[in-house]
Chain A
Amino acid sequence: MVNKLIKEDTKMFLTGNEVLAYAANAAEAEFMYGYPITPQNEIMHTWCKLLPKTEAGFLQTEDEISAGFSTLGGILAGKRAFTATAGPGNVIMQDAQSMAEMMRIPFVCAVMQRGGPSTATVIYAQQETRLTCYGGNGEGFRIVYSTAGHQDLYDYMIKAFNTAWTYRFPTYVLADGYQGKMREPVMLYDPASRGIKMVPTTTALLGEGKIGIDRKSVHMRNTYNMEEELMEVLDSYQKDYDKMAEEVAEYEEYKAEDAEILIIAHGIVARSARTAVDELREKGIKAGLFRPITIRPLAVKPLRAAVSRAKQILFTESANGQLAQMVLEKLYGLTTPYSTLFKMGVGVTGDDLVEKVESMVKSPAVV
């Protein structure tokens, strides 16, 4: 067991990366594996600075391939381990993330998106949305929470551990360089004080006594001989995933009930959308926001209901429609026209959205 640092409500003024390290400690994480890449370095810096007090562990590996697999190894050895990465690091960690899907390993990872493709910028983007949800050679058996600020980072990093250890699917906190580097006030708390019970860490492979005598052997497979054998397993995973999806899917609506123009945005862009909705409402334009919090799985029913109520939809992202693509698939059969405001690797401001929605009032979308 590690020492938990936050025993009572503590208001702090931190960067998002620092918040994540505190949150992992609050979630009783025992070990972090990682490799440096901007803009997420301060997660491990902070984690390491806290080590003398927390008595947790840390290993800096030689790259993200190793960081990903080491995390899996740590979990298999019975530790509550996690990692964090960004950009090209997230790309090369996909092999390990796929293995977590295949072997149902409760892998937890914070992704702080930066500009892409490739090295691009170290600053900010929402261009790892698709990668984080569906990367790897598999079906995307993953849970992805997209956060919109420091309180979210704290709340959802704690939640990510519980989700991963409950459902045994890899679970992500998807944020970005703005959230990682920016400073704003945040309330840190002991999860127990909010009625949150942490799901205990259980051993996967190791255990007391002799295998075959004192306990059963554990066979976790990553390789299958027969096509049908694989499909049988994956079908059962899909069944588990669908059942789980109804329990974990989260969303937030802001003035969406009577919205004529509904903005669909996730993460930090959703926060700009809130600013825009307030300004537009003051101008007499009925705008609203639908923000998927889990972008995988999506909260499909409420999403379809909100879209059905609206006259027009606006998709906005700091990417070229990565969320929109995932959402549109779930809106099959609905005919609400939509427009888009995509800024690849660049922040979307409230002004951007006010201007765009005003233009949609003047000349409505037809697609």
Chain B
Amino acid sequence: MARTKIVLAGEGGQGVQSIAKILVEAGYEAGKQVLYIPNFGVEQRGGVSIAFCQIADETIGEPRYSKGDIIIMLSDRAIDRCERYVSENSTVVYDTSVCTVKPTCKCKRIIGIDANKIANEKLSARVFNIIILGVLLAATNVLELSDIKNAMEKALGKKFDAKPELRELNYKALEMGMDLVKEKAAL
């Protein structure tokens, strides 16, 4: 039974929950079984924000899981909070341009990416999370790029229509994110 368990963690305000919603919406529209739980504290901003997402071919039982297949950590505090979800079979992704430490957990594969730097220098700070969505798409490999683009259209379509260059910017961010994982895989 194919089931992909994702833990996506960052600081409140980094847009973790927004891309989790797009990801699961894409999965739902693609006919997959999906389940998403947002996890956050009482803060409006700041604090660690975690999204637990599952994409599967069959009905999903447990809503929460002990270990994820892919764990994305976007801040030092996210590393602290989420190392517990890492197993020897997990792929860990962390942002080297945000985190000051490297995750020390035992895992199958650890990928350092500099999405925040790329967003700031090459695109826009606002699409940092969309780069991460691209990373997630490439790292999970269970959904098609077109699925994600359709879900983005559903979530952001109105903004895109008002400012068509935003669509291009977001697509570019998505592709750059995917390339980040592919580059690392090629190494």
Contacts and interface: CB of A to CB of B under 8 A. Distances in A.
Contacts of A74: none
Contact of A185 (B33, B37, B42): B33
Contact of A183 (B24, B40, B61, B67): B24
A351 B38 contact: no
Given A184-B35, A348-B64, 12 more contacts: A13-B24, A38-B42, A122-B41, A123-B40, A178-B64, A183-B34, A184-B34, A275-B62, A349-B62, A350-B65, A350-B66, A351-B67
Contacts of B61: 271-272, 274-275, 278, 350
Interface residues of A, number: 25
B62 A184 contact: no
Nearest to B17: A181
Interface string A177-197: 010011111000000000000
Contact of B64 (A121, A185, A274, A347): A347
A329 to B, nearest CB: 29
Interface in B16-45: 21, 24-25, 28, 33-42
Interface of B: 21, 24-25, 28, 33-42, 60-67
Contact of B34 (A149, A181, A185): A185
Interface string A38-49: 100000000000
Interface string A159-190: 00000000000000000001001111100000
A29 interface: no
Interface in A261-302: 268, 271-272, 274-276, 278
Contact of B42 (A13, A122, A178, A349): A122
Interface of A: 13, 38, 121-123, 149, 178, 181-185, 268, 271-272, 274-276, 278, 347-352
A13 B62 contact: no
Contacts of A123: 39-41
A149 B44 CA distance: 27
18 contacts: A13-B34, A123-B40, A149-B63, A178-B64, A182-B36, A182-B38, A183-B21, A183-B24, A185-B33, A272-B61, A274-B61, A278-B61, A347-B64, A349-B62, A350-B61, A350-B66, A351-B67, A352-B66
